[in-house]
Amino acid sequence: MRFLRKVVMITGASGGIGQALAKGFAREGATIALVGRNKERTEEIARRTGAVYHSTLEITKSENCKKIIDDVFNLTGSLDVLVNNAGAMFRGDVVDTPDDEWLKLFDINVHAVFYLSREAIRLMREHKIAGNIVQVASNSALSGRKGHIAYATTKGAVVQMTRCMALDCASDGIRINAVCPGATDTAMPMSKHSAPISRERLLENCRQSIPLQRIADPEEVVRSILFLASEDSSYVTGTTLSVDGGTTA
Ligand SMILES: NC(=O)c1ccc[n+]([C@@H]2O[C@H](COP(=O)([O-])OP(=O)(O)OC[C@H]3O[C@@H](n4cnc5c(N)ncnc54)[C@H](OP(=O)(O)O)[C@@H]3O)[C@@H](O)[C@H]2O)c1
């Protein structure tokens, strides 16, 4: 029960890792607030985890991010942890990446993370909350990724944003870190934006190419986020934790 009486907000709650995060934090006693895009899936996970708040407002808009953060605070009286997990992928090399896809990826993978973090930090500072933010980046942030220039560039930006925010906020007692997952068993690595292959093929590729010889279970990514968001990592800020079965090693 590491998050008893802690208010935890999670974005991308309608997706694979987001749903596992909602269950993981709920299991550890957190009061949870969820933000998703798909209404049905967001409502369902909110119902199943007893979330006190859920929203499907578009988080790529700065004013919506402010409203969501304010609403959660006004409802619960705090905001202790923010997990920026929502994200999207686009498949295309440098010439095959059109403006709209490039901008769309920056909107969700970078701008939404910045807007929500900024509003959360503003509020944490104002109310002297020793809060915590975890950004869900990717191991694509840590080395080049052929055919995924927009995704790798945006996730690289998240890692650098994490370092800068951590330095800006260290004296406030607010810690900010990023996790960098590798292939994780959700819809994302099988989508047309990643590699449109069957699940069997994906699992076989992971067996052959990942040092630990398998894909990650979303629960394994969640455990790394619970660690970074909890007092177990009380002296850790501004870092990136690879959760990729040894791929970047
Ligand atoms: N799975 C992997 O192999 C892997 C590896 C490294 C990093 N990651 C990162 O892990 C995070 C979670 O991914 P996942 O694996 O759980 O994938 P997922 O199942 O596809 O979930 C992605 C989540 O992000 C939301 N989202 C996407 N675009 C959005 C937008 N424009 N506005 C608002 N919400 C948006 C989705 O909403 P809807 O579903 O409601 O549309 C969904 O809730 C992402 O940041 C991803 O980049 C995943």
For the chain, list the domains and their CATH numbers. 7-243 (3.40.50.720)
**If you average pLDDT over every residue of the chain, what do you get?**
97
Give the pLDDT confidence score for residue 192 in this predicted structure: 86
The pair phi, psi for residue 234, each rounded to 5°, is: -60, -20
pLDDT of 197:
85
Question: What residue owns the CA closest to ligand 1's atom 1?
Answer: 184
Q: Are 145 and 96 in contact (CB under 8 A)?
A: no
Which pLDDT score is estimated for 249? Answer: 96
Q: How far is CA 155 from CA 13, 59, 71, 79, in A?
A: 19, 17, 28, 25
Residue nearest to atom 18 of ligand 1 (CA): 15
Nearest atom in ligand 1 to 60's CA:
32
Say how many Å lie between the CA of residue 89 and the centre of ligand 1.
Answer: 8
**CA of 14, closest atom in ligand 1:** 43
Please, where are the H alpha helices in 38-127?
39-49, 62-76, 99-106, 112-126
pLDDT of residue 193: 86
Confidence (pLDDT) at 191: 87
The per-residue pLDDT for range 126-139, each reduced to its tens digit, is 999 999 999 999 99
**Is 151 tagged catalytic?**
yes
The preferred substitution site among 9, 11, 17 for testing ligand 1, maximizing ligand atoms within 8 Å of CB, is 17
Give the number of the atom of ligand 1 that is nearest the alpha carbon of residue 104: 31
Spacing of C-alpha 125 from chain mean position: 22
**Ligand 1: nearest atom to the Cα of 215:** 3
Is residue 59 within 6 Å of ligand 1 at its C-beta? yes
Is the minimum distance from the CB of 188 to ligand 1 under 6 angstroms?
A: yes
What is the tens place of the pLDDT at every residue in 190-238?
888 888 788 899 999 999 999 999 999 999 999 999 999 999 999 999 9
Determine whether the shortest distance from the Cβ of 138 to ligand 1 is under 6 A.
yes
Give me the half-sphere count of Cα atoms (radius 13 Å) on the Cβ side of residue 175: 17
Indicate the top mutation candidate among 19, 184, 202, 220 to test ligand 1's pocket, ranked by most ligand atoms within 8 A of CB.
184
Residue 247, pLDDT above cutoff 90:
yes
Residue 182 region by backbone torsions, left for phi larger than 0, else alpha for psi between -120 and 50, else beta: beta
Distance 15 CA to ligand 1 centre (A): 6
Q: How far is CA 114 from CA 47, 135, 149, 168, 222, in A?
A: 28, 10, 20, 13, 21
Using CA atoms, how far apart are residues 175 and 237, in angstroms rounded to an integer? 5
Q: Which amino acid is at 117?
A: S
